[in-house]
Amino acid sequence: MNNFFQTNYALDSCIPVSLFNNGGAAKIFDEVRKTGYKIVVKDDSPDCVIISREEMLEMLDDIYLAALAEARMKNDSGNAVPFEEILTKNGITQQELDAMEDVEIE
């Protein structure tokens, strides 16, 4: 994604703090539920971020999984099996893997 689209996406995610003062909180919270987050701008600077419950739970899950993976790698004590060995053991080549369609796992 180029910087133009990233910048526009970030700008679309920004809301002025004055919207809260003008009774717009309900609309803002609806948008957060749809988009995942909003950046609250105060005095022309990002001041805070409002994150949806689902987005927060997903982030916490990612943090937990990263910590779990790191702990497992530390406790491995040299028992790790090289990726190439796993491929060979299962009769799969790197070229076959590269040719496979990408799969998204949720």
Residue 90, phi then psi, degrees to nearest 5: -100, 10
Based on the fold, state whether residues 43 and 60 are members of the same structural domain.
no
Indicate if the alpha-carbon torsion angle 60, 62, 68, 70 is positive or negative.
Answer: negative
Q: Does residue 4 have a pLDDT over 50?
A: no
List, for residues 25-52, the tens digit of each pLDDT value: 898 899 999 989 999 999 988 899 999 9
Based on the fold, state whether residues 46 and 83 are members of the same structural domain.
no
Domain with 60, as residue range(s), is 55-98
Looking at 35, 51, 67, the residue that finishes a domain is 51
The answer to whether 53 and 80 have CB atoms below 8 angstroms apart is: no
Under the banding of pLDDT at 50, 70 and 90, the label for residue 74 is confident
**What's the half-sphere exposure (Cβ side, CA atoms, 13 Å) at 79?**
6
Within a domain: residue 59?
Answer: yes
Within a domain: residue 103?
Answer: no
pTM for the structure as a whole: 0.54
Residue 78, phi then psi, degrees to nearest 5: 80, 15
Based on the fold, state whether residues 38 and 67 are members of the same structural domain.
no
Q: Does residue 105 have a pLDDT over 70?
A: yes
